[in-house]
Amino acid sequence: MKRNYADNKNKSKNIKRKRIIISSIIVGLFVIIGGAVIAQKFSSSKQAVQAADNNSVQNQDKDSSQNSNDNSVDKESDNSVENVAYLEKYIDQQIKGQKPDGVDGKKVAYLTFDDGPSETVTPQILDILKSKNVNATFFLIGKYVDKDEASKDLVKREISEGNAIGIHSYSHDYSYLFPNGKINLGNCMSDFDKTDKALKGVLGQDFSTRAIRFPGGQETWSKKDPQGAEAVDKALHEKDWHQIDWNALSGDAESGHKDAAQLTQEAIKTIGNREKALILMHDTYGKEETAKALPGIIDYLKQQGYEFKTIK
């Protein structure tokens, strides 16, 4: 009896021991499985938070970049480009002896070049502008734009280096544009349109310009043919095109040869004490002296405190 009792007692202990072991194993498994699930959820949550943070940073960077671009555009619009419609009115008021609107005490120079592009002088002008870190407005003749690939490349270079482009007719033919000393409205508008198409053919259909310069200048034809000038102004304004004359010049298109020193002195004399100086020069064939005079003209304007703007 004592032996049976001892055996039974040992069996009971063994059973309890097995139960404890099995329970420990089960509890251990639950702990391991539960820990793995919690760890996975924590990892997923952490990844989600990191993704959200990354998206937030990317969006902030994108917004910052966009704002930077917007500010760049605004800065250019404010500081380096002048509204052609404003200058058209400014010069007209000045010619009539009126005090121009927008007088603000700020000295601004607008370097303008007519009759290009030329493969001889235009590259020199562009090199000088680039070296002096200033820009200009080029009033182009359409037939020279269409002349050859080298001319078209010059037009592309003018734009790529930050300069502006205006229209100076296609033919520059006075007998066609102004027969018998009168403005032929149809011929003039056709010539301007043809040049606009030539420029779009080189620079893309998105290119546009609002700046027009009449061969001979607006004032010349306003005096010779007031009614014709009024009619052409109306037709131009309907297309949001605006004529730009000048109030200073180097004299490089006047009769008689002038060397670079004489051209520089003429520009300085006609600039005078003007607050807004629109300076007429030429970059067509045979105007090498203009290129030689340009550095001195730019240096003088800088010394006098002028800033430089293009016209659009």
What is each CA distance from 161 to 40, 125, 127, 215, 228, in whole angstroms? Answer: 57, 12, 10, 26, 37
Distance CA 138, CA 195 (A): 13
42 Cβ contact partners less than 8 Å away, ≥ 6 residues apart: none
Distance CA 128, CA 120 (A): 14
What is each CA distance from 13 to 17, 20, 22, 23, 51, in whole angstroms? Answer: 6, 10, 14, 15, 56
Distance CA 152, CA 118 (A): 10
Provide the annotated active-site residues: 114, 282
Q: What is the DSSP letter of 108?
A: E
* 200 close to 207: Cβ distance less than 8 angstroms: yes
Distance CA 168, CA 114 (A): 7
Please state the length of the chain. 312
> How many CB atoms within 10 Å of residue 143?
17
